[in-house]
Amino acid sequence: MKGMKPLKLVPCEYAHPFNVDRQDDHAMTIEELPTPGVHGGGCGCGGHDGDEPTIDATAIPHRLRHAAVLGAAGSMNAGESFIIRAPHLPRPLLAQIMQLPGEWTFEVLVDGPQYWDVRTTRVSL
């Protein structure tokens, strides 16, 4: 945009709102950032989960559980699955997943009493 300075990205030791205009050899514009090739899961980070990932909802604070699992479910492609580990059979959460786009299937792998594992598969988009 006319009259705007390009965004400068600086190393952590200089990452302070008052130093954004710092001119040094380490600063670069966003256009100068290297763009990695797409590897693994497609995000460019190079990682890839070969096995089904497990979301252990018992380790997530209660008020964030549904949002975290729904975010993960929303990122699944058709044919992909993940396992939800919950402290109870997560019927309300599974009902929320069913409201996401696509067709979903659920398979209870561990049926309590200490925890429940449910394979959650996005069959189609």
Q: With a threshold of 0.85, does the pTM exceed it?
A: no
> Band of the pLDDT at 18, cuts 50, 70, 90?
very low
Q: pLDDT for 55-86, tens place per residue?
A: 999 999 999 999 999 999 999 999 999 999 99
In this predicted model, which residue has the larger pLDDT, 66 or 39?
66
Domains in the chain: ranges and CATH: 1-34 (no CATH), 54-124 (3.30.110)
Nearest to 55 by CA among 105, 123, 124, 115: 115
**Helix intervals (H) in 61-110:** 65-74, 91-98
Q: Give just the sign of the alpha carbon dihedral 25, 26, 32, 37.
A: positive
> Band of the pLDDT at 15, cuts 50, 70, 90?
very low
